[in-house]
Amino acid sequence: MTSLEFDDNWFIVEVKMKLENFFLKFKNPSHYYRCLSQGNWRFLKQSNRSFFRHFSTGLYRSVIDGEKVSLIFFLRVKNTVEKYRISKELSIRMKKLMNSPIRILDIREMSETDRKLLKTKNGINFYNRILG
């Protein structure tokens, strides 16, 4: 197990998009993250920029599989009590950015690939760090 799996403040969000649709709107995965986290779009009277203050740190990586691109986010909330609400609200914000299937997973449900990458010394290099 990785150290992330022992911290209940972490959760995973996976969004899958058609590759051609992704590139119509975004230049790369970093551009998607910037639009999501720094946009001034509001939901429940709170901008995305302000909403992302609920997170203390995070990681993300992208995976291209045929005609689909998946963005996998590992996010750590500051307040465990609000984790469910924040994760649901994040999925709504992601759907507003681009309507695509989104899965929210508990940190213990991470894929074997992510588990292996996060266990190895250089595996972290496959991820982009976000926040904190």
Task: Give the phi and the psi of residue 118 in degrees, each rounded to 5.
Answer: -75, -15
Using CA atoms, how far residue 110 sits from 25, 48, 67, 130, in Å, is 28, 25, 23, 18
Number of domains in the chain: 1
Residue 51: CATH number of its domain:
3.30.70.260
| Residue pLDDT, tens place only, 65-99 | 999 999 999 999 999 899 999 999 999 999 999 99
Structural domain boundaries, residue 82 = 3-130
Q: What is the pTM of this model?
A: 0.91
Cβ-contact 19, 10 below 8 angstroms: no
Assess whether pLDDT exceeds 80 at residue 40. Answer: no
